[in-house]
Amino acid sequence: MQVDEELHSALRHEVLWRKMSQPACKRMAGTPVLLVDFHLRNTEWWNWIAERGPRPFRVPEPRHAALFRNATALVREILIEICFVSLASPAAARLLFGMSPTVIEIAASLSGMQMDKIVGTFGDQMQLRWADNRVFWRGFLEAATGDLDEDAIADVHFQSLQLLGSEV
């Protein structure tokens, strides 16, 4: 099977990804951080998509568009969660999502219509978080799909918090 270029980094562990079942997803549902990113630290990009600034000189290419092509409802739910948490608790948004303060401010002010427009126009910009971190994703997928104990899952959760801490 020839892997599409944009999926290359996401599918490095293709055999493990193929083992991701509903029980595996439930097993890892307690991961304490969002495992996707929506340019949540890119102030210039968010100013542009919220129509508060000019188009950035370099617009990021969607790296994993194919992963989220048919996931409009998921992208919408994630964006709604990002916006609500940003409004309710900017500190929590920064901690949970690794968002910059300006992006938190923008997300907190978005209307439902603006969110729908962003999802429809820019939903393909959603990407796997830390997609190039082979060690994290291999450990995550092994913990999700293997016969590893709860300590292995806790280790993956701790590692995700460490990675998040390195961003903030």
Domain boundaries, the chain: 1-33+129-168, 42-124
Share of the chain above pLDDT 90, in %: 29
Q: What is the pLDDT of residues 34-70, one digit of tens each?
A: 888 888 989 999 999 888 878 777 776 766 666 677 7
Length of the chain: 168
Tokens 């210039």 belong to residue: 44
DSSP code for 124: G
Is residue 1 within 8 A of residue 127, CB to CB? The reply is: no
Cβ count within 10 A of residue 14: 13
